[in-house]
Amino acid sequence: MEYTIMVNFKMYREASGARAVELARHLQRAQEETGIKFVAIPSTLDLLKVSEAVDIDVYAQHADPVKFGAHTGSISIEALADAGIPGLLINHSEKRLKLADIGWLVSEARRLGMTSVVCTNDDSVSKAAAALEPTYVAMEPPELIGGDVSVSKAKPDVVRRTVEAVRAISPRVHVLIGAGVKNAEDVRIGKELGAVGILVASGVVKARDPFSAAMDLASGFL
Ligand code: G3P
User: Following DSSP, what letter does each residue of 24-52 receive, concatenated?
Assistant: HHHHHHHHHHH--EEEEE--GGGHHHHHH
Atom of ligand 1 nearest to the CA of 140: 4
Q: At 141, which CATH number? A: 3.20.20.70
> Is the distance from CB of 188 to CB of 153 less than 8 angstroms?
no
Active site (annotated) includes residue 62: no
Atom of ligand 1 nearest to the CA of 178: 5
Active site (annotated) includes residue 71: no
Q: In the prediction, which pLDDT does 84 show?
A: 98
Number of domains in the chain: 1
- In this structure, the residues whose C-beta lies within 6 A of any atom of ligand 1 are 8, 92-93, 140, 145-146, 178-181, 199-203
The domain containing residue 55 runs over which residues?
4-219
**How remote is the CA of residue 5 from the centroid of ligand 1, in Å?**
12
Atom of ligand 1 nearest to the CA of 203: 9
Statement: the pTM of the whole predicted model exceeds 0.85: yes
> Which CA distances in Å does 132 have to 89, 105, 176?
14, 10, 16
CA angle centred on 142, ends 9 and 26, rounded to 5°:
20
Please give the chain's pLDDT, 222 residues, in tens.
699 999 999 999 999 999 999 999 999 999 999 999 999 999 999 999 999 999 999 999 999 999 999 999 999 999 999 999 999 999 999 999 999 999 999 999 999 999 999 999 999 999 999 999 999 999 999 999 999 999 999 999 999 999 999 999 999 999 999 999 999 999 999 999 999 999 999 999 999 999 999 999 999 999
Question: Which residues are CB-contacts of 36 (< 8 A; sequence separation ≥ 6)?
Answer: 3, 4, 5, 30, 218, 221, 222
**Active-site hit among 26, 62, 108, 140:** 140
Q: How far apart are CA 181 and CA 188, in angstroms?
A: 11
| Beta carbons within 10 angstroms of residue 55's beta carbon | 11
